[in-house]
Amino acid sequence: MGSFSIWHWLIVLVIVLVIFGTKKLRNVGGDLGGAVKSFKDAVKEGEQPQATPASQQIPQSAAPAGQTIEGEVKNKTVS
């Protein structure tokens, strides 16, 4: 009862295709590929230093100080 042979994997593949169908598996594969692509793009973007033009830089004295607002929600409504 060690590892599975190729016949075991083929039977599992056929069962998965029958249960889910090829269209749904194709959609899942496309979604997974898109997620991997966007992850790679984000990693590449993070590696490149981002230079901001001098006109968009905010001087340190004009930057707003961090503020914490504490509160409690009484009623939550969905609009």
Domain limits, the chain: 22-47
**What is the tens place of the pLDDT at every residue in 41-53?**
988 887 766 555 5
Q: Answer whether 29's CB lies under 8 Å from 20's CB.
A: no
Global confidence as pTM: 0.39
The identity of residue 59, as a single letter, is: P
Tell me, rounded to whole angstroms, the distance of Cα 79 from its chain centroid: 27
Q: 10-residue block means of pLDDT along the chain (79 residues)?
A: 83 89 85 92 77 56 65 75
Q: Answer whether 25's CB lies under 8 Å from 17's CB.
A: yes
**Dihedral of the CA atoms 50, 51, 52, 55 (nearest 10)?**
-170
